[in-house]
Structure 1
Amino acid sequence: MSYKVIVDSCGELTEEMKASGLFETASLSMEVDGVRIVDDETFDQADFLKRVAASAECPKSSCPSPEEYMESYHCDAEHVYAVTLSAELSGSYNSAELGRKLYEEEYGKRDIYVFNSCSASIGETLIGLKIQECEEAGMSFQEVVDTVEKYIESQHTYFVLETLDTLKKNGRLTGIKALVASALNIKPVMGAKPEGIICQLGQARGMKKALMKMTDHIIDDLENSEEKILAISHCNCKERALEVQKTLLSKAKFKASFIIDTAGISTMYANDGGIIVVV
């Protein structure tokens, strides 16, 4: 049974996923001081971070249009899946759903399903890998949908960033009461609620302590770790990501683990030095 997985570009694809030919990226775009930057293979992280640092304005993002999703659905694969950023954080999910409806109006019904990741970044990556695992196991389209939706419910997202400015200015931290002044070097430990809304889990003084607090939260929440993949994405701080991975692997046994550098949208929100963990 042939299948295709479209992941919006907030979800980083591993090299293996890119090489498989089964995954496609639906690119979001960013804007810094009137310059539009597409989140695709041309994205230059160092240049982007430099532009953001030099800009007085907050970078903005825009999601793929319904027509772009519709175009991606138009293929030979029998089963088509899309994985998007949390619907609470972006219009990408609604765009993908509208694209599906447009496709069906134009070409008739077929097996297309849009997953709301209720996460971002490598949360989407892991969902893509779960779809692949289910398809390779020979599940029916509906079985894949049901299994992956259940998996999304069990997924946990955590992150610690050097600064929450971009998330704050772009209104992605609704409902979080005044975060402690950065002058004190207090770093909040953040996570995602099951419905995909960002929440604060704790805080610590300095990045090192905040990362330790994050790993404690991860271990406390962890169930059936041997059946799970530990995924870490980082924005320009590989050593930090390796340290977090080492700590977690010393405390629990996972099915697999990988580290990946953030693509465009995740870079925009995580900012220089940010770490995201999904398990």
Structure 2
Amino acid sequence: MSYKIAIDSCGELLDEWKEDERIEAVPLTLMVGGESIIDDETFDQKDFLKKVAECPECPKSACPSPERYMKAYECDADHIYAVTLSSELSGSYNSAVLGKSLFLEDYPGKKIHVFNSKSASGGESLIAMKIIECENKNLSFEEVVSTVEEYIEEMSTFFVLENLETLRKNGRLSRVKALVASALKIKPVMGSTPEGTICQLDQARGMNKAIVKMVDHVAEKGINIPSKTVAITHCNCQERAKMLEEAIRTRLNPANVVVMDTAGVSSMYANDGGIIVAV
């Protein structure tokens, strides 16, 4: 059976997906000051980070419209899947679900399922990989949905921030705390809750120590890691990502590791130097 995956632009695309008609990125819109930036193939990470650093206001994002998702669903595929940001972080999931409902009014026979990743960035990428794996095994639509939903329930996402300015600008950290943390080189270790919200798990003085603590949390909370792929996404810090990949391979022995640079929405969340792990 043929399939299509529509993944919102917070999920990073593997290089081979960018030329694959079965995979479509549905872009969010980023707003920095008064400027709107479409998070598509034209996104310029370096220019975006510069604009964020210079803007006193917190950057924001706007989710794709239901109509945009409906456009993504318009295809000849037998099975159609959407993968979105956590519904606790964005309206993308609700938009994709509404788009599905509207689309099915005109095409009631189509099989469409929207996955709430309860994650972001590489977590969405892993879900798309799992869908492809299931489709390649010729599972039925219902079996794919069930298998992938179970996979999502086992997933965990972690990240470490180099730059605390986004947290400060969006009100999650006072200016005084941000200044003190920066002066003491304190780096928060963040993670996802089972519901898909964000929480602080730990902190450390210095980025390297924070990454070590993050790997500790991955080891503690990750389920069946030796049989799974680990996704590492980084915002403009390739060497740091390589160091993290080596630590994860050595300590946790996953089946595979993929390393990707963040696209627009993930760059906004992670900020310059941030790094994300999903498993």
Alignment TM class, shorter chain as reference: over 0.9
Q: Which residue of 2 aligns with 1:271?
A: 271
What does 1:1-279 align with in structure 2 at a 5 Å threshold? 1-167=1-167, 169-170=169-170, 181-279=181-279
Q: Is the 8 A contact 2:56 2:169 kept in 1?
A: no
Q: Distance in 1 between matches of 2:67 and 2:164?
A: 32
Q: Distance in 1 between matches of 2:269 and 2:224?
A: 30
Q: Distance in 1 between matches of 2:73 and 2:119?
A: 22
- AA at the equivalent of 1:202: D
**Residues 33-91 of structure 1, C-alpha deviations (whole Å, 9 max, x = no match):** 21111100000000101111111121111010000001111111110000000000000
Unaligned regions of 5+ residues in structure 1, if any? none
Tell me the CA shift for residue 130 of structure 1: 0.2
Q: Distance in 2 between matches of 1:51 and 1:85?
A: 24
Aligned residues: 275
Tell me the CA shift for residue 108 of structure 1: 2.2
Q: Distance in 2 between matches of 1:59 and 1:246?
A: 32
Q: Is the 8 A contact 1:226 1:255 kept in 2?
A: yes
Tell me the CA shift for residue 169 of structure 1: 3.9
- AA at the equivalent of 2:273: G
**Residues 208-235 of structure 1, C-alpha deviations (whole Å, 9 max, x = no match):** 1111110111122233222100110000
Deviation larger for 226-235 or 113-122 = 226-235
- AA at the equivalent of 2:143: E
Percent identity of the aligned residues?
A: 59
Q: Distance in 2 between matches of 1:225 and 1:59?
A: 34
Tell me the CA shift for residue 199 of structure 1: 1.0
Q: Distance in 1 between matches of 2:224 and 2:107?
A: 43
Q: TM-score, normalised by structure 1?
A: 0.94
Q: Distance in 2 between matches of 1:194 and 1:83?
A: 17
Change (3 A) 1:166 1:202: same
Q: Distance in 1 between matches of 2:109 and 2:126?
A: 27
- AA at the equivalent of 1:274: G
- AA at the equivalent of 1:193: T
Q: TM-score, normalised by structure 2?
A: 0.94
- AA at the equivalent of 2:3: Y
Change (3 A) 1:109 1:165: farther
Q: Is the 8 A contact 1:31 1:59 kept in 2?
A: yes
- AA at the equivalent of 1:85: L
SS of the residue corresponding to residue 61 of structure 2 reads: strand
Q: Is the 8 A contact 1:162 1:274 kept in 2?
A: yes
Q: Is the 8 A contact 2:230 2:256 kept in 1?
A: yes
Q: Distance in 1 between matches of 2:144 and 2:222?
A: 24
Q: Distance in 2 between matches of 1:273 and 1:248?
A: 19
Q: Is the 8 A contact 1:60 1:170 kept in 2?
A: no
Q: Distance in 1 between matches of 2:116 and 2:183?
A: 36
Change (3 A) 1:142 1:168: farther
**Residues 6-40 of structure 1, C-alpha deviations (whole Å, 9 max, x = no match):** 00000000102223322100000111121111100
Q: Distance in 1 between matches of 2:220 and 2:158?
A: 12
RMSD: 1.6
Tell me the CA shift for residue 167 of structure 1: 4.3
**Residues 98-143 of structure 1, C-alpha deviations (whole Å, 9 max, x = no match):** 0001111233242000000000000000000000000110100000
Tell me the CA shift for residue 163 of structure 1: 2.6
**Residues 163-187 of structure 1, C-alpha deviations (whole Å, 9 max, x = no match):** 343245446x59xxx8874332211
Deviation larger for 248-257 or 115-124 = 248-257
SS of the residue corresponding to residue 105 of structure 2 reads: helix
Q: Distance in 1 between matches of 2:186 and 2:46?
A: 26
Q: Distance in 1 between matches of 2:78 and 2:169?
A: 42
